[in-house]
Amino acid sequence: MNNKSVRTQFAKQFSFFMAIPAFVWVFICFYIPLLTIIARSLLTRSPGEIIPHFTPDYYAQLFELKYFHVIWRSLLLAFGTSVSCLLIGYPVAYFLARKARSAKNILLFFLMLPFAVNLLVQAYAWFFVLGKSGLINQALMMLGLISDPLNILNTPVAVYIGMIYCYVPFMIMPLYAVLEKLDQRFVEASFDLGADWFKTMWRVVLPLSMPGIVTGFFLVFIPVFGEFVIPNLLGGNKQMFVGSLISFYFLITRNLAVGSAFTCLSGIIVLTAAVFTYWRLKKLWA
Amino acid sequence: MNVRSFFSAYGLRMWVSAFFLFLYIPIVVLVIFSFNESPTLYQWGGFSTHWYAELFQSAEVWQALRNSLYVASFATFLSVTMSLLLVYFGSNLRRFFPLFYGSLVIPEVVLAVGLLGFFSLFTVMLGFSTLIVGHTLLGLGYAVPIVSSRYDELEKHLTEASLDLGASYVQTFFRIILPLLVPALVAAAILVFVISLDDFMIAFFCAGGTTQTLPLYIFSVVRAGGSPMLNALSTVLLCFGSMLIMLIAALRMRKIFMFGS
């Protein structure tokens, strides 16, 4: 009797229906709400009508430059954050996985610690660095480089820094996992065969860590695209991003139909962007 | 000195040190200012711990914490129980398990507005129940893969031996399978509990006006410009976070110790 049949017997002995609650939960609370968003964006019901009919009106309302600006800005932010996290995080992951021997566990602990506190707290911590009388301004004023405090908080720069800060662990962890498993013999072989350090990195280590790069990229790209908290707190809600516009429709104007249409539209765009990036990345190293 | 030896000798170390400075400067400043005497947020006015005293006396914080713990306990219980039942009884539905990971790959804001739109469709009152529903969904996405991968790792011989030796299916479940799944269930429970405690987006959309959780409280204070008491609260949360990571690390080490080789 193999493993599978033992387990199938188990499932039959007990009721198979015991597995149903989880499926029901995920369908009712996840898939049906997603379909509701799509349906709400496409259907409308005039007064007195019972069966809703199709309308492209809500999407047509979004066909304005300012909405595409919001999506474009979010895409740019998501892309910039992912690339920056990769550039900042790759050497760190490399060091943690291959160079830090005894210090590895303690460094991993310190890497995870900020990650264990709430995103809101992480964003709040930057108030003390970027604020008008924050660390940066005080340091610059003490050095006599500036006379008036710089306005860093509530600008796109603050949002960008905050995003990198909060999302860089998501990039480092998959990179670390891949780099740790990378066979040292490949690196040695590359040196033996006469490649210099740069070439070994570019032609051996980097291609072998591609799965980690791709995972990390999407772990950063997708949540940053829809991020609401950081633009709101560090950006002072001065510039709309996708997350803030969606919440504006759903919570403030309570225009659920247009909000749903915007959610679908930006969802489609982020998916297209993600697939396109994946395809480009694959082509680059194929 | 060529590039390689320079880089491996100094460059990489400097980069990593700079990175950890970047990671820790905001947190260190945040912690230092929690001991600030003065009520103005950014001006150092001498050492004091009175913000901590105020924090522990704040009724609002305790209420928010109580709400958060209440929601997190329910969500953890529901999602871990459901994933145990799913993994155990649904072994021939295995190919449908990826359905549970959908909630992990979409931006959280979409999840939150989806739930809000759905609740408003049926005019459900927003509050504890809607929060628990949302957090349970979030938890399922994490609990199902943890429990199912542990279940796959279990030695089939144990089950077979148990049945061969005359135990019934019920006995095998309670005496063999369940005890062996405990580490995975504990890990899943810790993770789901923490995710529920930390969650802001679903709470922001689905808590309604009356139910305040700890993240919602923190958000409202930060929106208002922050307060030294929030620094104290953040420091306390940081301590809990570090204990939690150590706990997880210890559990994992124990797991390797017990089941490794």
Name the token pair of A110.
């310190």
Backbone φ, ψ for residue B144 (5° rounding):
-60, -50
pLDDT of residue A1: 46
Q: Is the pLDDT of residue B38 over 90?
A: no
Of B86, B91, B92, the CB nearest to A22: B86
Would you tell me how many other CB atoms lie within 10 Å of the CB of residue B189? 19
Nearest-neighbour CA in chain A from B175: distance (Å): 14
Please judge whether A23 and B22 are an interchain contact, meaning their C-beta atoms are less than 8 angstroms apart: no
Full-model pTM: 0.87
Other CB atoms within 10 A of residue B254 CB:
11
User: Which residue is closest to A165 within chain B, CA to CA?
Assistant: B23
- Closest C-alpha to B132, from B70, B82, B65, B189: B70
B162 contacts in A (CB within 8 Å)?
none
* CATH architecture for segment(s) A62-285: Orthogonal Bundle (1.10)
**B43-60 confidence digits (pLDDT tens):** 787 888 888 988 999 899
The pLDDT tens digits of the residues spanning B205-243 come to 998 878 899 999 999 999 888 888 999 999 999 999 888
ipTM of this model? 0.85
DSSP string, chain B: --HHHHIIIIIHHHHHHHHHHHHHHHHHHHHHHHTBSSSSTTS---B--HHHHHHHH-HHHHHHHHHHHHHHHHHHHHHHHHHHHHHHHTGGGGGGGGGGGHHHHS-HHHHHHHHHHHHHHTTPPPSHHHHHHHHHHHHHHHHHHHHHHHHHHS-HHHHHHHHHTT--HHHHIIIIIHHHHHHHHHHHHHHHHHHHHH--HHHHHHSTTT---HHHHHHHHHHTT--HHHHHHHHHHHHHHHHHHHHHHHHHHHHHHHH--
Pick from B43, B93, B117: CB nearest A256: B117
In CATH, the number for domain B68-213 is: 1.10.3720.10
- CA pair distance B211, B157, nearest whole angstrom: 50
Interface residue B22 vs chain A (CB under 8 A): yes
Locate A192 and state its tokens.
């033996």
Residue in chain A nearest B218 by alpha carbon: A120
Q: What is the token pair recorded at B88?
A: 């155990």
Report in angstroms the alpha-carbon separations of B204 from A70, A116, B212, B231: 22, 20, 9, 22
Q: Which residue of B13, B169, B223 is in closest CB contact with A13?
A: B169
CB contact under 8 A, A10 and B89: yes
Closest CA to B208 of B134, B101, B153: B134
Do B89 and A6 lie within an 8 Å CB cutoff?
Answer: no
Comparing alpha-carbon positions, the chain A residue that sits nearest to B106 is A222
Q: Which of B179, B180, B189 is nearest to B142 (CA)?
A: B189
pLDDT at residue B255, as a whole number: 56
CB B42 within 8 A of CB A134: yes
User: Would you say the C-alpha torsion A35, B195, A126, A106 has a positive or negative sign?
Assistant: negative
Residues of B in contact with A4 (CB under 8 A): 91
Q: Is A11–B234 a contact, with Cβ atoms under 8 angstroms apart?
A: no
Residues of B with Cβ-Cβ distance to A85 under 8 angstroms: none
Mutate to test the interface with A, among B1, B8, B16, B17 (most CBs of A within 10 A): B16
Chain A contact for B21 (CB, 8 A cutoff): no
Task: Tell me the chain B residues in contact with residue A133 when contact means C-beta distances shorter than 8 Å.
Answer: 42-43
Angstrom distance (rounded) from CA B103 to CA B113: 13
What's the rounded Cα separation, in Å, for the pair A163 and A227?
Answer: 9
Residue with structure tokens 């789901």?
A: B192
pLDDT band for B171, please (50, 70, 90 cuts).
Answer: confident
Q: Rounded to whole angstroms, how far apart are CA atoms B233 and B226?
A: 11
Q: Does B88 touch chain A (CB under 8 A)?
A: yes
B222 touches chain A (CB under 8 A): yes
B159 Cβ under 8 Å from any chain A Cβ: yes
- One pLDDT digit (tens) per residue for chain A, 286 residues: 455 566 666 556 566 677 888 999 999 999 999 999 999 888 887 777 778 888 888 888 888 888 889 999 999 999 999 999 999 999 999 999 888 777 888 888 888 888 778 899 999 999 989 988 888 888 888 888 888 888 888 889 999 999 999 999 999 999 999 998 888 888 888 888 888 888 888 888 888 888 899 999 989 999 999 999 999 999 887 888 999 999 999 988 888 889 999 999 998 998 898 888 888 887 876 6
Is the separation of the CB atoms in A233 and A161 below 8 Å? no
Contact call for A225 and B159, based on CB within 8 A: no
Q: Which of B60, B237, B120, B205 is nearest to A125 (CA)?
A: B237
Contact B103, B140 (CB under 8 A): yes
C-beta atoms of A14 and B42 within 8 A: no
Q: Which of B113, B169, B240 to mutate to test the interface with A (most CBs of A within 10 A)?
A: B113
Find the DSSP H helices in chain A.
3-13, 20-26, 32-42, 57-61, 65-94, 104-116, 119-130, 135-142, 156-181, 184-192, 197-200, 206-208, 210-225, 229-233, 242-247, 256-285
CB contact under 8 A, B103 and A16: no
Nearest-CB residue to B118 (from A33, A99, A116): A33
Tokens linked to A89: 């995080």
Instruction: Count the Cβ atoms, other than its own, within 10 Å of residue B48.
Output: 14
CA distance A108 to chain B (A): 10
Closest CA to A139 of A154, A149, A124, A127: A149
**Residue A26 to chain B, least CA–CA distance (Å):** 6
Domain boundaries defined on chain B: 68-213, 227-261
Kindly report, as residue ranges, where domains of CATH 1.10.3720.10 are found in chain A.
62-285
To probe the interface with A, which of B55, B65, B118, B176 has the most A CB atoms within 10 Å? B118
Select from A33, A117, A247 the Cβ nearest to the Cβ of B238: A117
In three-state secondary structure terms, A263 is helix
Site from A121, A130, A191, A266 to mutate, B interface, most B CB atoms within 10 angstroms = A121
Question: For residue range B8-32, what is the model confidence (pLDDT) as tens digits?
Answer: 668 888 999 999 999 999 999 999 9
